[in-house]
Structure 1
Amino acid sequence: MKNTTTTTELYEYADGYNYSSYYPYDKDDAAPCSLRDTWTFVSNFAPLAYILVFILALVGNILVLCVIRRYRQSRHNLCSFSLTDTFLLHLAISDLLLAMTLPFFAVQWINEWIFGLFACKIAGVLFSLNVYCGVLFLACISFDRYLAIVHAVNISWRRKSCHAQLACAVIWIVCLGLTVVDMHYRDVVLLYGRNQQVCQVVFSQESSQQWQIGMQLVSLFLGFVFPLLVMLYCYICIFKALCHTSTRRQKRRSLRLIVSLVVVFVVSWAPYNALRMTDSLKKLGVIVNSCGLNNVLDMGILVTESMGLAHCALNPLLYGLVGIKFRRELAQMCKAVLGLQGCLGLAGWAQSRGSTRRPTGSFSSVDSENTSSVMA
C-alpha cells in the first residue's frame, strides 16, 4: 500500500541531495528540463554501485569487528587496548551501519521505495549519521597517533580506551543532532513525471533554498574540510617526528602509508564535495543555472557520492589489514575457525610480515607505541 501523500518535482540521492529538477525550466526556451537521461542513468548506475559497496563494506567491517572482539576478549578488560583501537571499533560500526542502508536505496532505484515512511526516515538518518561519524572517527585516529608519536603521551593513559569512549559518545551525539533536519523533512513522495515513489528530503517552498544550502555547507565543512585539515596536520607532524627516529626504509614505508591514507580520503570525497559546492553556488546565483549544468551535477554527484561511499569499504584495508598485530590476530582467528591447513597461507603471510618486530599496543594500521614502527 502506497504512503505517497504528495507529488514532487524534487528527487534526490540517498543522502538528501535534490536533483536539478528543483529548477525545472531552461531559461533559453522556457521549457521544463528533460530528466529522462538522468533517470535512466540513475536507475542503471545506483543499484550496481550501492550493492557492490554494500557487499565489500559488509565483509570487511564484519571481519574488523570479529578481530577486535577476539582481541578484547583475550584482554578481559574493556579498557585494555589503545584509543586507536577504540576509534577503529566505532569506525567499523559506523561504516557497517552506513552500508546496511544501501540495499534499501538500491531497491528504490530498481523499482521504487516500498518500505514505508518510518523505514524511509530511519534509513535516511542512518545514512547521514554514519557519513558524518565515519570521517570524524578517521580524524580521531590520526589525532591519537599524533599524540602518541609527536608528543609521546603516556602509554598507560592511552591504552585505557575508556577515555576514547567519551569522545566517541560526543561524536555520535553531535552527528545525531545534525540528522534531526533529515528526519523531520524526509518523506516518501512520487517522482515528477514518473509513477515511482522515492524516499527523499522535502523542504517547504519558503525554507527550501536556505535549508539546502545550509546543510550542504555544514556537510562540506564537517564531512570533509575539518577531517582533512586534522589528518593533514597530524600526519605531517608524525612523519617529521619519524624522520628523526626511523631508518630510511621505515621512513619510506611510513611516507607511503601516510600518503595512501590522505590520498584515498581526498580522492573518495573531494570530487563529491566539489560538486556539492558548485550546486550551492548555483542556488545562490553565483553560477548561471542551465539544464546542461543541472544534468552534469545530477549524474556527477551520484558517481562521486558512490566514490565516497566506497571509502567505508576501503577503511578495513587502510586501517586494519596493513597493521601487523591485526594480521596476526586475523590469522589466529582464522586458524581457530577453519583449522591449521585452511589458514596455513594466511598465518605464514602474517608471520613473515611481522616476524622482525612485535608491537604491543594498537593493532590498527598505526599500531605500535614505538615511534620507529608506528606507521610501518
Structure 2
Amino acid sequence: MKNTSSTTNVYDYPDYDYNSTYPDDDNDDAAPCSLRDTWTFVSNFAPLSYILVFILALVGNILVLCVIRRYRQSRHNPCSFSLTDTFLLHLAISDLLLAVTLPFFAVQWINEWIFGLSACKIAGALFSLNVYCGVLFLACISFDRYLAIVHAVNISWRRKSCHAQLACTVIWVVCLGLSTVDVFYRDVVVLYGRNQQVCQIVFSQESSQQWQIGMQLVSLFLGFVLPLLVMLYCYIRIFKALCHASTRRQKRRSLRLIISLVVVFVVSWAPYNVLRMTDSLKTLGVIANTCGLNKVLDVGILVTESMGLAHCALNPLLYGLVGVKFRHELAQMCKTVLGPQGCLGLVGWAQSRRSTRRPTGSFSSVDSENTSYFSVMA
C-alpha cells in the first residue's frame, strides 16, 4: 500500500499508495501480496474517522472564531490582542481549513476521487499547509506563555499583537512553500488491482526515494520534533516559575493542565511519526520489506493519522475552553444569541467556575491585566 513502489510514493497524511505491490514474505519474486483485507479496513475506517473529525473540528473551531470575533469587536484596535490571542486565532483558522479538506478524502475512500485534478492539488496543498501550521502555532502559544510568565515581558510590548501577526505571516509563508510539493506532484491515478481513482502524490522514478525520505524528515522535524521540544522547554520553565509564586492548589491545577497539553500532543502525533520513520527505514533497506510489515504500516499509519487529525478537534478544548475568561465570553455570547433563559446552564457554569477561582496576583511579576484573554493560563 504505502510507499512500497519505486515509482510512486507519498509523504502526506491522507494518501496511501495502492499502486504499489508487496513482496511475498518467503519469495520476493512471487506474486504481489493481497490487499483485500487492508482495503476492507481502509474503506470502512477512513471515511468514518475523517467525517467524525470534520464535524467536531468544524463546531469547535467555529465557536472559537465566533468568541474571538466578539471580543475583537469590543476592542477597536486590531493590535489590542495579546500575542496568545492572535496565535489562537490563527490556530483555529488553520484547524478549520484542515478539517474542510477531510470530506473530500472521505468521499475518495467511499467511492473514488471524483473532484478532478485541480481540486486534488488544492485539497492536498491545503491539507499539508494546515498540518504544518497547526503544530507550529501550538509551539508559538507555549512560547508566548513562557515569555509572559517566566520572563515577565514588558506589558506594552506584549499587548501589541502586530508582533504576533508578523510571526504568523512567517509561519504561513514557510508552510505554504512546503505545501507547493502537492501542487506540483499531486495527480489522480488509478489504484493497483482496482478500477478506482485516488488523489495522491506521484514522483518520478529518478527522484522518488530522495523526495520521499527528504519530505518525511522535514515533516518529522517541523511537524513533531521542533514543536515538542519548544512545548517541553516552555512548559517546564512555566511550571517551575509557578511553583515559586502559586499556592498548592494552583500548582496542582497548572501541572494538570501542562501535562494534559503535552500528553495529548505526544499521544496524537508520536505513534504516527514512529511509523513514518519505520517506513523510511524500510525504504532505505534498513528494515526488510515484507508483506506483514507493509500491512502493519498501512493499517497503523491510517489509524495513527486519524489520532493526529483528531488534535485539530481537541485544540478548541485544550486552548480555549480551559481559559476562565474564554468561558465567560462564550457564556455571554450564548446569552446574547439565545436569551437569558436559553443559556442559564452555560452562564451559571462559567460564573461558578470563576467564583471558585482565587485571585492569583501576578506570575513572575506579570500584571494580571497582561494575562491573555484566551490564554491557557487565564
What's the CA shift for 1:24?
3.0
Structure 1 residue matching 2:288: 3-state secondary structure = coil
2:181 paired residue number: 181
1:335 paired residue number: 335
Closer, same or farther: CA 304–130 of 1 in aligned 2, 3 Å: same
Deviations 1:286-335 (A, max 9, x none): 11110100000000000000000000000000000010000010001000
What's the CA shift for 1:14?
6.3
Give, in whole Å, the separation in 1 of the partners of 2:64 and 2:207: 42
Give, in whole Å, the separation in 2 of the partners of 1:11 and 1:284: 13
Deviations 1:215-252 (A, max 9, x none): 11110010000000000000000000000000000000
1:209 paired residue number: 209
The amino acid of 1:192's aligned partner reads: Y
1:25 paired residue number: 23
CA contact (8 A) 2:14 2:105 kept: no
CA contact (8 A) 1:60 1:316 kept: yes
2:228 paired residue number: 228
1:237 paired residue number: 237
- Give TM-score, length-normalised by structure 2: 0.92
Structure 2 residue matching 1:220: 3-state secondary structure = helix
What's the CA shift for 1:13?
8.7
- Give TM-score, length-normalised by structure 1: 0.93
1:363 paired residue number: 373
What's the CA shift for 1:366?
2.1
1:146 paired residue number: 146
The amino acid of 2:318's aligned partner reads: L
Q: CA RMSD in A?
A: 1.7
Is the deviation greater in 325-334 or in 22-31?
22-31
Give, in whole Å, the separation in 2 of the partners of 1:352 and 1:24: 59
The amino acid of 2:13's aligned partner reads: D
Closer, same or farther: CA 176–13 of 1 in aligned 2, 3 Å: closer
Unaligned runs of 5+ in 2: 1-5, 360-367
Structure 1 residue matching 2:206: 3-state secondary structure = coil
Matched, 1:160 2:148: no
Structure 1 residue matching 2:114: 3-state secondary structure = coil
Give, in whole Å, the separation in 2 of the partners of 1:19 and 1:295: 12
Structure 2 residue matching 1:195: 3-state secondary structure = coil
1:371 paired residue number: none
1:135 paired residue number: 135
Alignment of 1:280-299 (within 5 A): 280-299=280-299
Alignment of 1:302-321 (within 5 A): 302-321=302-321
1:15 paired residue number: 13
Is the deviation greater in 228-237 or in 181-190?
181-190
What's the CA shift for 1:18?
4.5
Closer, same or farther: CA 211–14 of 1 in aligned 2, 3 Å: closer
What's the CA shift for 1:77?
1.2
What's the CA shift for 1:16?
5.9
Deviations 1:58-83 (A, max 9, x none): 00000000000000001111011200
Percent of aligned positions with the same letter in both sequences?
84
Give, in whole Å, the separation in 2 of the partners of 1:69 and 1:242: 31
